[in-house]
Amino acid sequence: MIDLSILRNQPDLIKDAIRRRGVDIDVDALVSLDADVRRARQNAEETRAEQKESGKAIAGLQGDEKQAAIEAAAALSEQFKEQSAAADALQQRFDAIWIDVPNLVDPSAADGFTDADNVEIKRVGDIVTRNITRDHAELGALLDVIDTERGAKVSGARFGYLKGKAVLLEFALVRYALDRLTEAGFTPMVPPVLVKEDALFGTGFFPDAREQVYAVPEDELFLVGTAEVPLAAYHMDEIFEAGELPKRYVGFSTCFRREAGTYGKDTAGIFRVHQFDKVEMFVFTEPELSVEEHDRLLAYEESIVRGLDVPYRVVNVAAGDLGAPAAKKYDIEAWFPGQQAYREITSCSNTTDFQARRLKVRQRTESGNRVIHTLNGTAVAVGRTILTILENHQQPDGSVVIPEALRPYTGFESIEP
RNA sequence: GGAGAGAUGGCCGAGUGGUCGAAGGCGCUCGCCUGCUAAGCGAGUAGGGGGUUAUUAGCCUCCUCGAGGGUUCAAAUCCCUCUCUCUCCGCCA
């Protein structure tokens, strides 16, 4: 949610943002609706104040005088109820639209509406040397470390078993990332993966991406698609004192995604699955420092990927391809020789005050409390990272050499057929 | 899953229908005092919305005493529903 005062004082900023995102929202209607809400609320409050005032007097009255005063107050009470209901109705109409208004877009975010419009910022590593092009599904079967057939048997499409050394590689990657980031001052976390609706609204996944989230209706809980949700909600309704920020967390969690609307996309192997593990960075920071922090998170992501010796590129995500909370987003796309393509393995967003406002995360300052900024970034999306390692480090015989940086964690140097 | 207890401001803790957004204490902030980071004295100290104003002051007002709903002229106080926490039992990684 963005600052209401922007709607009142600079509605053009919002118009510009929704234009860049390709979203259709009637901002002028919102502006006048907001004015209606305030006018109606004002009316109700004035009546209410009058009613309270007359109510107080009643305590000191007796007999007929008291009776008359009670009747007068009752009339005011009735009037207040009507005016209040009118204001509530307007408020509801406003909220229904307002909740869908996405964050403002950073001026430096790329233009365009799909991932085809993403702008490449840099490219690292040489893809020409990756000239063996078995894809991860083939390698997974060959090495007996990925089993999608039985995944389908047990759980359906887009599920798989990780098996053997791939499992050890998974935990090596997790620990590798956790070590890099705890060294950098992040606090490690294992958050809940089942959360209440509030956490998903607060982080902006509801209502925007509701169809991507698994629900457990019986218990009114939802399975998170990323640790970003419980990490962000960790400080929900809290007010930080001066000097407490930034707060940097790195959380490990399993992630669940319905992948609605992706039928037919990435069906081979386990590139796109309903369940995977991820190590995620999440930062609460002062507003003035969020841009700088965004660059810092991207730098951490790059250093982690660089240690894996996988070619990659960094893209500035197009405005129209940003999620509702993000003002700007960088993706790292790793080279997948089997697909002959760069594919997303990390994502790093500056959500500015959008989530913090919804979650009511604030900071106490000399001139009052203010909403802070939050950012999130993938440290390691374990599943896809394993796949890019398999594909990039495959040998002619199908074996896979483990990158140097991971060997202390895996305890082995290669995976053999 | 069964039985019971509880939820009040940063913390502790009063408060069972009427100047209670809330006594008191602690903590904190500012000032005073004290010859020495003790004691003492005074003042201040929740969050959010709206209005006004010069939009970082001030003033007015509404909402919030776990959440939501209800009764009433009036609710922290009465009623209903829900959530959470704690204790005991059961079950269990």
Residues A73 and A135 in one domain: no
Do strands A119-124 and A312-316 pair parallel, antiparallel, or not at all (unpaired)?
A: antiparallel
Residues A85 and A194 in one domain: no
The single residue of A344, A370, A399, A407 carrying the catalytic annotation is: A344
What pLDDT is attached to residue A55? 84
How far is the C-alpha of A397 from the C-alpha of A134, rounded, in Å? 11
Residues A16 and A134 in one domain: no
Q: Is the CB of A243 under 7 A from strand B?
A: no
A99-139 per-position pLDDT tens digit:
889 999 999 999 999 999 999 999 999 999 999 999 999 99
What pLDDT is attached to residue A96? 86
Output the DSSP codes for A176-228.
Answer: HHHHHHHHTTPEEE---SEE-HHHHHHTT-TTTTGGGSEEEGGGTEEE-SSTH
- Rounded distance in angstroms from the CA atom of residue A174 to the C1' atom of nucleotide B80: 50
Boundary-marking domain end, from A45, A64, A98 = A98
Residues A91 and A129 in one domain: no
Q: Is the CB of A62 under 7 A from strand B?
A: no
* A396: Cα within 13 Å, side-chain hemisphere: 0
| Residue A82 annotated among the catalytic residues of the structure | no
Q: What is the pLDDT along chain A (417 residues), one digit of tens a residue?
A: 888 989 998 999 999 999 999 999 999 999 999 999 999 988 898 999 888 888 888 877 777 888 888 888 888 888 998 898 888 888 888 988 898 899 999 999 999 999 999 999 999 999 999 999 999 999 999 999 999 999 999 999 999 999 999 999 999 999 999 999 999 999 999 998 988 888 898 899 988 888 999 988 877 888 999 999 999 998 888 888 777 889 999 999 999 999 998 888 898 899 999 999 999 999 999 999 999 999 999 999 999 999 999 999 999 999 999 999 999 999 999 999 999 999 999 999 999 999 999 888 888 777 778 889 999 999 999 999 999 999 999 999 999 999 999 999 999 999 999
CATH code for the domain of A14: 1.10.287.40
CATH code for the domain of A137: 3.30.930.10
- Rounded distance in angstroms from the CA atom of residue A356 to the C1' atom of nucleotide B44: 30
Looking across all nucleic acid strands, the nucleotide with the smallest C1' to CA distance from residue A73 is: B73
A108 part of a folded domain: no
| Residue A272 annotated among the catalytic residues of the structure | yes
Count structural domains, chain A.
Answer: 2
A182-192 per-position pLDDT tens digit:
999 999 999 98
What pLDDT is attached to residue A342? 96
**Element housing A30 (H / E):** helix A27-58
Residues A259 and A386 in one domain: yes
Q: Is the CB of A303 under 7 A from strand B?
A: no
- Rounded distance in angstroms from the CA atom of residue A220 to the C1' atom of nucleotide B80: 22
Residue nearest to nucleotide B46 (CA to C1'): A239
Q: Is the CB of A56 under 7 A from strand B?
A: yes
Distances (CA, A) of A121 to A129, A293, A331, A333: 22, 18, 10, 11
Q: Is the CB of A364 under 7 A from strand B?
A: yes
Residues A315 and A402 in one domain: yes
A68-94 per-position pLDDT tens digit:
888 888 888 889 988 988 888 888 889
How far is the C-alpha of A317 from the C-alpha of A230, rounded, in Å? 24
Q: Which nucleotides of B are covered by protein (CB under 7 A)?
A: 18-19, 47-51, 56-57, 61-63, 72-74
How far is the C-alpha of A188 from the C-alpha of A312, rounded, in Å? 26
The single residue of A38, A48, A134, A272 carrying the catalytic annotation is: A272
Distances (CA, A) of A268 to A263, A271, A340, A341: 12, 7, 14, 14
Residues A361 and A388 in one domain: yes
How far is the C-alpha of A112 from the C-alpha of A240, rounded, in Å? 37
- Rounded distance in angstroms from the CA atom of residue A222 to the C1' atom of nucleotide B87: 30
Q: Which of A250, A297, A285, A251 is nearest to A356 (CA)?
A: A285
Looking across all nucleic acid strands, the nucleotide with the smallest C1' to CA distance from residue A365 is: B56
Residues A36 and A170 in one domain: no
Residues A44 and A138 in one domain: no
Q: Is the CB of A58 under 7 A from strand B?
A: yes
What pLDDT is attached to residue A330? 98
What pLDDT is attached to residue A62? 75
Residues of chain A (168-227) having a beta carbon less than 7 angstroms from strand B: none
Residues A218 and A189 sit within 8 Å (Cβ to Cβ): no
Q: Is the CB of A74 under 7 A from strand B?
A: yes
Domain that holds residue A158: 115-415
Residues A393 and A245 in one domain: yes
A258 part of a folded domain: yes
- Rounded distance in angstroms from the CA atom of residue A20 to the C1' atom of nucleotide B78: 55
| Residue A344 annotated among the catalytic residues of the structure | yes
Q: Is the CB of A39 under 7 A from strand B?
A: no
What pLDDT is attached to residue A318? 97
Q: Is the CB of A4 under 7 A from strand B?
A: yes
Instruction: Give the tokens for residue A148.
Output: 């999608």
